[in-house]
Chains A and B, each alone.
With several copies, the nearest count.
Chain A
Amino acid sequence: MTITSQDNEIAAEDSQLPVTNTSTAKQEGVDSMQADNTSNSPEQNEMPFALVNGEAYTELPKDLYIPPDALEVILEAFEGPLDLLLYLIRRQNIDILDINVAAITHQYVSYVEMMSDLQFELAAEYLVMAAMLAEIKSRMLLPRTQEEEEEEDDPRAALIRRLQEYERFKTAAEDMDGIPRMHRDIHQATAQAPDRNLTRPDPEVDFKEILLALSDVLRRADMFESHQVEMERMSTRERMTKVLEHLSVEKTFVPFVSLFKVEEGRLGVIVTFMAVMELIKESLVDIVQNEPFGAIHVKAKAD
């Protein structure tokens, strides 16, 4: 997304280009320069793409002569031999199907020679194309026998085919560049999502985990020795909670006997009694008896 990555891309593509990156002024926007001057792609701009001897060139030279300093820049604008050929053809305003192989070959070879003269390192593809053009030209000059025509593919047809195919995708790429695109033309709409805590599920707990935790605590407690966790019947502890809850609700002294329920039987009575004793021991309840053998009342201490 950053501009730097674009720079990288330019740099990386340099290695693909038919010429080495020698000296001349390289400007931003070169990559978007249009070699095809029939195109009205949005990438075309007013900025001169080359400065030669202080003179700004805003379009490609009309004739074949290209000031040597600008050649490199111009070549960077081509995406390869097919692109260069297309440019040469389009510049003459002729249909691909009507190409004069001889003339185009001549022009193409002039470019390539000039590049060689200037000792630019040409990509192999440019030379291959030059050779192919030369071959087509020579074959077109030779008289052909009927037999040959039947057996062979017209060499020009293959070239035209390639040029057409390339041009299709060149156009497709331009069309695609015009499609509304994320971050440039359209943007994903987002709004702050609701707080996840509103619906976050509570963790699941297995009772084993509680036991493991407890066993850890006990182990540590044993290690410290000072905190002996007593062993007692859970029923007493539970009853303590219940009694305390009951007393907290009442908030006043309640008769001691009201804490016991006959239906709980002997065991229940004992548990409740133990619980109250424990609560007294832990100073959680107050217990009063106004006279010997009188009614005993209990009250939660804090409330």
Chain B
Amino acid sequence: MIERQQLKKIIEGALLAYGQPLTVDKLHSLFATQMVDTEEGDPLPTQTQVDKSEIIDVLAEIQSDCENAGYELKEVSSGWRFQVREEMAPWVNKLWEEKPQRYSRALMETLAIIAYRQPITRGDIEEIRGVAVSSYIIKTLTEREWIKVIGHRDVPGRPSLFATTKQFLDYFNLKSLEELPSLQELTDIESINPELNLEVAEVVEEVVSAENSQKFVEQDNITESDNTVLEAETEAEAEADTQQESLHE
């Protein structure tokens, strides 16, 4: 057995040396295999058996250790990473001459729509935004590896279906899409005006649910199975339910 203190030091070292998020599995793999003998016959490091649960414990321990430090241990989508706290940014950012990049509203809106409505085609995004989505934005988001094509909708032209990536979540300090700020509630459409009667509302409802079910049917065509997508789906479904509920009221 490897000593707890040593285990902690190794995990700290690995996280800092790697400079990217590490999963518990990956951390575990550092201990899983037996150290290979060298011809020199050097004393072998003690063989170790470390449980994943122990690694998780240690991560929690490290996390509380650095509560008062300038950095924190955080779990994001692709694993655990040490990161310098937000509060330090005003000073830390002065290390670099360049200012942190800012993104245009058009880009952020496109990204938000993809994040909340994935998987989604460019046409769908344009429908929501009311304007064409520039190829430059799609290119930038793809190059940043924030979005990717996860399939094609089975309609003429077979448009690409976009979804966000793990890198997107990592970049925005998130563990999963569920951590995104919740979308603004939709106000009851029936309360619009006395002129609009219930029947109209129902028609709207049908349109909305038809649209939704269409989307889910299409998702069946996506071959790639991806947790993120599944999560998004569930979320979208939940949301659709909420919408329907509010319409029924």
Contact = CB atoms under 8 A, between A and B. Distances in A.
A215 interface: yes
B128 A240 contact: no
Given A218-B186, A229-B128, A237-B177, A157 B151 contact: no
A220 B88 CA distance: 47
Given A186-B83, A188-B20, A284-B153, A194 B88 contact: yes
A189 B82 contact: yes
A227 B128 contact: yes
A6 interface: yes
A175 B186 CA distance: 16
A159 B134 CA distance: 24
Contacts of B116: 169, 172, 214, 234, 237
A199 B237 CA distance: 45
Contacts of A204: 100
Interface in A261-303: 282-284, 300-303
Task: Tell which of A31, A152, A207, A229 has the most Cβ of chain B within 10 Å.
Answer: A207
Interface stretch (A12-20, A48-56, A63-71, A106-114): A12-20
Contact of B192 (A157, A211, A300): A157
Interface string A147-174: 0011011101110111011111111111
Contact of A237 (B83, B117, B193, B209): B117
A98 B187 CA distance: 12
Interface string A191-204: 11111101111111
Contacts of A244: 119, 150-151, 161, 163
Interface stretch (B1-9, B32-40, B53-61): B32-40
A194 B151 CA distance: 37
A157 B129 contact: no
B218 to A, nearest CB: 11
Contact of A9 (B82, B136, B158, B163): B136
Contacts of B144: 202
A150 B199 contact: yes
Contacts of A167: 184
B148 to A, nearest CB: 9
A188 B154 CA distance: 40
A104 interface: no
B86 A82 contact: no
Contacts of A282: 153
B109 A216 contact: yes
Interface string B144-171: 1000001111110010010110000011
Contact of A16 (B111, B131, B191, B209): B131
A172 B135 CA distance: 22
How many chain B residues sit at the interface, stated as a range, is: 35 or more
B44 interface: no
Contact of B163 (A205, A210, A245): A245
A27 to B, nearest CB: 12
Contacts of B154: 283-284, 301-302
A74 interface: no
Chain A, interface size: which category?
A: 35 or more
A194 B93 contact: yes
Contacts of B77: none
B81 to A, nearest CB: 6
Contact of B151 (A149, A180, A224, A300): A300
B112 interface: yes
A245 B150 contact: yes
Contacts of A162: 128, 130
Contacts of B161: 244, 284
A213 B108 contact: yes
Contacts of B153: 282-284, 301-302
B81 A189 contact: yes
Contacts of A222: 190
Given A153-B200, A240-B118, A160 B189 contact: yes
B186 A164 contact: yes
B245 interface: no
A32 B201 CA distance: 37
A257 interface: no
23 contacts: A47-B39, A129-B130, A161-B189, A168-B186, A170-B109, A173-B111, A180-B172, A183-B101, A185-B86, A186-B83, A188-B82, A190-B17, A191-B83, A193-B17, A214-B109, A217-B113, A229-B183, A231-B182, A241-B118, A241-B164, A241-B177, A301-B153, A302-B151
Given A179-B181, A201-B98, A213-B108, 12 more contacts: A5-B140, A125-B132, A153-B200, A166-B128, A176-B111, A186-B173, A192-B84, A210-B115, A213-B112, A216-B105, A232-B183, A244-B150
Closest 3 CB pairs of A and B: A80-B131, A302-B152, A301-B154
Interface of A: 1-3, 5-6, 8-10, 12-13, 15-16, 29, 31-32, 42-43, 45-47, 79-83, 95-98, 123, 125, 129, 149-150, 152-154, 156-158, 160-162, 164-177, 179-196, 198-205, 207-222, 224, 227, 229, 231-235, 237-238, 240-241, 244-245, 247-248, 282-284, 300-303
